[in-house]
Amino acid sequence: MLENLLQLIKEVGQEQVVENTDIPDNDNDNVMAMAAESVTGVMQQELANGRAEDVLKMFQTNSSAQIMSSPVAQNIQSNFIDNITSKLGINKNVAMGLAATLIPIIISKLVKKTNSTSEADSGFDLTKLIGSLTGGGNNGGIDIASLISQFTGNKQNGGGGIADIISQFTGGNQTNNQQQSGGIGDLIKGFFGK
């Protein structure tokens, strides 16, 4: 799933980053890698901090404007601006302009592809995305798909909601999240040749 997201960022980045004369050519891959780090890192942090409901709500919206009004999407955009200005020295106005185009396109396409029933988008799966961001897959057989459906369907249980469920899934363990973060960071660096 993460490889599909990285490929999506690379495709969007071709026009928004590579063909952008305000971004030095030698920074193109770094900018796209930082976009990937912002998208995955912020969603991972939101999940780790018990705000899974906000992440899932972002995937339930239809229009790009609704998606970008999500606190998660706004945090991704801010994180991206901060990273490319502080780490690459890109002018703040250029960074803000790039973030205003690149990040909404990436997130909107991610949400639309994740919600799509088209065979062409079958590599985009919300369950796998959440699982990869939380270190899922080997956590006592917990079924992320049913947890997500509890949120996206009619939530009947009187419990604490999806945030508590995701917290149980991740074990509330920051070490697990930090280990997963290293794995995602390494994947991003490898994908963008850094």
Predicted confidence at residue 173, as pLDDT, reads 43
pTM for this entry: 0.73
**131 phi and psi angles, rounded to 5 deg:** -60, -40
Mean per-residue pLDDT, 153-162: 41
User: 79 and 35 in contact (C-beta within 8 Å)?
Assistant: no
Predicted confidence at residue 131, as pLDDT, reads 82
Between the alpha carbon of residue 135 and those of residues 111, 116, 153, the distances in Å are: 21, 24, 24
Dihedral sign for Cα 55, 188, 128, 113, please. positive
Q: Residue ranges of the alpha helices (H) in the chain?
A: 2-13, 28-48, 52-58, 64-68, 71-88, 92-115, 126-134, 144-152, 162-170, 174-191
* pLDDT tens, position by position, 114-156: 888 899 888 888 888 888 887 764 444 444 455 445 444 433 3
